[in-house]
Chains A and B, each alone.
Chain A
Amino acid sequence: MSEITQVIETGPFEEHPAHPGAGAYVIVAVALCILTALEVTVAYLPALRPVMIPVLIILAIAKFALIAMFFMHLHYDSRLLSTFFLGGLLAAFVLFIALLFLFVYLDRHRAIIM
């Protein structure tokens, strides 16, 4: 009974190519927790110090991607939306790297002058 009313309520518009069920969300959340636990562990393990930065970056990217793809549905929604977001993200990334290079470079340059 309730199912029928729902169908009527939604009408002919079914926008989403079916979002995942609650189960999938919980799995993603568990994965996020595990990744976070890994991150913290890595940060505290002296043995991993030499590779710590790349490992942490990879873990963060994994978390980032999980949230964006599943919680924010980029994986299911139209590519167009991913393009909007990735465009901004790419610009942000380039800007970040450029500023770091400029400043690191600037610092070294200044050290020589002084």
Chain B
Amino acid sequence: MAAQPKPLPLEPRNYLKGGGLIGWLTTVDHKRVAVLYGVTALFLLGIGGLEALVMRLQLWEPNNHLISAHFYNEMFTMHGTTMIFLVLMPLELGFFTNFVMPLQIGARDVAFPRLNALSFWIFLVGAVLMHLSWIWGGFPNRGWFGYANLTESYYSPGLNIDFWDISLLILGVSTLLTAINFFVTMVMMRAKGMSYMRMTLFCWAMLVTVILVLLAFPALTVGLLFLLLDRFFGTHFYIAAYGATPILWQHLFWLFGHPEVYILALPSFGIISEIVPVFSRKPLFGYPMMVYSIILIGFLSYGVWGHHMFATGMGPVADSAFAITSMLIAIPTGIKIFSWIATVWGGSLRMKTAFYFALAMIVEFTIGGLSGIMHASAPVDLQQTDSYFVVAHFHYVLFGGVMFALLGAIYYWWPKVTGKMLSEKLGKWQFWLTIIGFNGTFFPMHWLGTWGMPRRVYTYGAGLGWTGLNQFETVCAFILGFSFLLMYINLVLSTARGEDAPADPWDGRTLEWAVSSPPPEYNFANPVEVEGRDAYWLMKYGRGGAREAQMFAEGKIPPVPQNMQAPPEKPIHVPTPSIFPLLIAGCLFMVAIGLLIGWWRIMEIGGGTMFICIVGMCLEYPKWGEKSHNLDEEAPHSLGIDLRKAGLWTFLGSECVFFASLIATYVVYKSRNFGGPGASILEIPLTSGSTFALLMSSLMMVLALHSIEQGRVKWMRFWLVCTMALGCVFLGVEAFEFLGFFQKGLAMQTDLFGQCFYTLVGTHGVHVTIGVIWLGSILASSFRKNFGKSKALSVEMVGLYWHFVDIVWVVIFTLVYLMQQVKGA
């Protein structure tokens, strides 16, 4: 089973060729994974678009009853959820970043190729589950933001919100894995000579984007976890009757939600910053400012979530703070817009479809940004919130900004992905129809909104004067739909029998154009060295510009330089395909569906098999990512740090945010105990004991690492067993403590204190349990033959996780137990 990566044949093989169906199902090549994402997301884009057209038909005339109000709710929920989580994110992260980023930084693949495949299959599970609820009584219908307490069982008794909740959790896992993967790739695997300030702006945008993912998604995870507990176990995280504050959901959701809109927007800024210089034949204006403004946007976007909540009565201080931060975001955004314009200014423009879309994006996005600044002012927002004005705003940013950039990206990179040029003629037709359809559909919404037409409304009265504009919008929406049909036709026809694409059709500036279209399986035959920004431009033209001017005068694009075409000097190891990502995702599907419809047997089978598959995946490549793996060549910027270790640390950074959200909720809710015994029930002596056990287990853990680093496997086993034993003591005491509390009448459902206590401490307990299992598998694998010093990293990894769990306990012990003394007496 433990297949060694085998050297590739030396002549380049187009990554699309060979392998058959099995090849695609087991692929770990970032380019193939990207294509899987792309095809899935483009399909879902069609579905999301049809849902929108259904809504537009329903709004055609006043008092219309074409579809039921219930179905209308399902449509706008599925439309929003699909477009954001199943179309824009996978197109940006899964498709374009996956495909282009490793090429642009000169890498052969991402840091964790199998994890990449796993992300895709998990994404697919989430996407399918989201739609499956239809079989069990209907689609999710509480909006993409799923405001509590409308999502509670009392108001939404069906299974659909359960499906929504669990699908989003699953999609979150997929996104998190992708983010860790890309983060490590961009930080460590850039080619020699590619310093941060030589990275392409697309990569910069993605670097900040994945950091946002890492720091924002945990808040959503926690919010969804609470909802899950409410719905499945009868807690009351969002039920005011039990003293809870339903607004908590909005805080957690928008804490994720606003960074999320920049998770969507930043990649599109990156795309535009690639397309504009290429078609203007000028380097990007103000590169450093562009980089700083991306960083600043990322930073600010984390502190503005409250602008979605002005109407909830946060009070003047909070309102003002959020209004100010929101308006500040306009500054770096403005810088970007000026930079793009300055790049175009005075350039020798080539008016290709990709460039059309890029230019249009700059205009449409600016309109959306301006309406954003309008309702960043709290009093203005009170007029505009939940009206069609907001619908206009976010379609101008999400469609006019993000979707236009993606359309540009499709026309720009499709030749690289498929090796076929898209039809420019169809492209221009699509462009103009999109412009007409998009502006016609969404611009009048500004008026409708200010006239009072509420958002998410099923139908409207005849005498309100809204009919004409609504009909106009519906017509335009169909024009827009038609323009997308043209795109699909273009994609299919051109890919089937279009003109072959040269390696460098646009006279590109970045490294992806230095390899053939489609690229060879291993991307680069020989390790790349980069000499400056616009790396490929420098390779083609050198510095100075004389050759550039000459070629331009002759109207020629220089051929790919010799050294980029040279055959590989050394055999190349590409990661071997693996079936485990697909299997794990399949098992996850079984677990999720079993949980949702209460089919416990399938859940057990799925869970068991999944465990086996995860272990299988870990054992599959004993060598992958270890020191013997050639870090110097594959990851020139790794500073000798193993990629897996970097990945784990990244994950731990993200876990901090997860626990912070849990702990904050505990602190907010703990004193709101009606009827239950409250926090005075906590016993410090008992927990001091278990704290001691956990601390000592950490000592045992480092001793185990120490032993294996010295090559003493037997000692390592001894210390590992001690670590596990102490971990079990900790868990035992916890179980004993929980039992005692139950007997004293504190259940999870008793009061807010009970639910927060059990959730926080229990989640930590789950982490400890995972740690024990992980330790156990390391212990088991230490009996394999070649286990020795070279495996120290596996022990170090589990150790890092174990100590992290210990650290979290240090915080919990202080905040939950010890500080209780302060108020308790």
Q: Which residues of A does B touch, CB under 8 Å? A: 2, 5-6, 9-11, 13, 15-16, 19, 21-22, 25-26, 28-29, 32-33, 36, 39-40, 42-44, 46, 49, 52-53, 56-57, 59-60, 63-64, 67-68, 70-72, 77-78, 80-81, 84-89, 91-96, 98-100, 102-103, 105-106, 109, 113
Contacts and interface: CB of A to CB of B under 8 A. Distances in A.
B702 interface: yes
19 contacts: A9-B788, A10-B789, A15-B640, A21-B706, A36-B695, A56-B819, A68-B807, A71-B701, A78-B641, A80-B641, A84-B646, A84-B649, A84-B652, A87-B211, A92-B656, A93-B660, A95-B219, A99-B664, A109-B314
Contacts of A53: 819, 822
A94 B219 CA distance: 13
A10 B790 contact: yes
B657 interface: yes
Given A15-B641, A59-B814, A84-B646, 19 more contacts: A2-B711, A22-B706, A25-B699, A32-B695, A39-B814, A44-B684, A60-B811, A60-B813, A71-B698, A71-B806, A72-B803, A78-B640, A80-B187, A80-B646, A87-B211, A94-B302, A102-B251, A103-B245, A109-B313
A106 B807 contact: no
A23 B83 CA distance: 57
B645 interface: yes
Nearest to B218: A92
Contacts of A88: 214-215, 652-657
Interface in B403-453: none
Contacts of B649: 81, 84-85
B657 A9 contact: no
Contacts of A99: 251, 661, 664-665, 668
A56 B804 CA distance: 20
Contacts of A42: 818
Given A40-B818, A77-B641, A102 B660 contact: no
A96 B663 contact: yes
A15 B642 CA distance: 9
A6 B315 contact: no
B710 to A, nearest CB: 7
A91 B698 contact: no
A29 B652 contact: no
A44 B664 contact: no
A10 B664 CA distance: 45
Contact of B653 (A36, A63, A64, A84): A84
B661 A95 contact: yes
A60 B187 CA distance: 32
Contacts of B306: 102
A95 B807 contact: no
A77 B191 CA distance: 23
A71 B654 CA distance: 20
Interface string B786-818: 001110000000011001101100110110001
Interface string B723-736: 00000000000000
Interface of B: 187, 211, 214-215, 219, 245, 247, 251, 255, 302-303, 306, 313-315, 317-318, 627-628, 639-642, 645-646, 649-650, 652-657, 659-661, 663-665, 667-668, 684, 688, 691-692, 695-696, 698-699, 701-703, 705-706, 709-711, 788-790, 799-800, 803-804, 806-807, 810-811, 813-814, 818-819, 821-822, 825
Contacts of B245: 103, 106
B646 A64 contact: no
B707 to A, nearest CB: 9
Contacts of A96: 660, 663-664
| Nearest 9 Cβ contacts at the A-B interface | A88-B653, A92-B660, A92-B656, A29-B699, A13-B627, A60-B814, A99-B664, A88-B656, A43-B821
A6 B709 CA distance: 10
Contacts of B800: 72
Contacts of A25: 699, 702-703, 706
B416 to A, nearest CB: 31
A106 B788 CA distance: 57
B684 A84 contact: no
A19 B814 contact: no
A89 B800 CA distance: 15
A64 B810 contact: yes
Contacts of B664: 95-96, 99-100
A74 to B, nearest CB: 9
Nearest to B645: A81
Contacts of B302: 91, 94
A19 B709 contact: yes
A77 B665 CA distance: 34
B657 A92 contact: yes
B145 to A, nearest CB: 18
A67 to B, nearest CB: 5
Contacts of B654: 88
A80 B639 contact: yes
B432 to A, nearest CB: 44
B825 A46 contact: yes
A24 B786 CA distance: 29
Nearest to B672: A107
A26 B699 contact: yes
Contacts of A95: 219, 255, 657, 660-661, 664
Nearest to A90: B656
Nearest to A28: B699
Interface centre among B698, B709, B813 (most CB of A within 10 A): B698
Contacts of A9: 711, 788-790
A39 B814 CA distance: 8
Contacts of A80: 187, 639, 641, 646
A26 B803 CA distance: 15
A91 B811 contact: no
A40 B646 CA distance: 35
Contacts of A93: 660
Given A46-B825, A88-B653, A96-B664, A68 B706 contact: no
Nearest to B789: A9
A2 B628 CA distance: 22
B710 A6 contact: yes
Contacts of B645: 81
A17 B702 CA distance: 16
Given A15-B627, A68-B803, A43 B655 contact: no
A36 B302 CA distance: 35
Nearest to B812: A60
Nearest to A84: B649
Contacts of B819: 43, 52-53, 56
B803 A56 contact: no
Contacts of B628: 11, 13
Contacts of A102: 251, 306, 314, 318
Nearest to A40: B688
A58 to B, nearest CB: 10
Contact of B684 (A6, A10, A43, A64): A43
Contacts of B701: 71
B800 to A, nearest CB: 6
Given A36-B692, A85-B653, A92 B810 contact: no
Contacts of B646: 80-81, 84
Contact of A67 (B211, B640, B684, B810): B810
B822 A52 contact: yes
Nearest to A87: B653
A44 B710 CA distance: 43
A53 to B, nearest CB: 6
A71 B659 contact: no
Nearest to A86: B653
A83 B38 CA distance: 33
A17 to B, nearest CB: 9
A78 B251 CA distance: 36
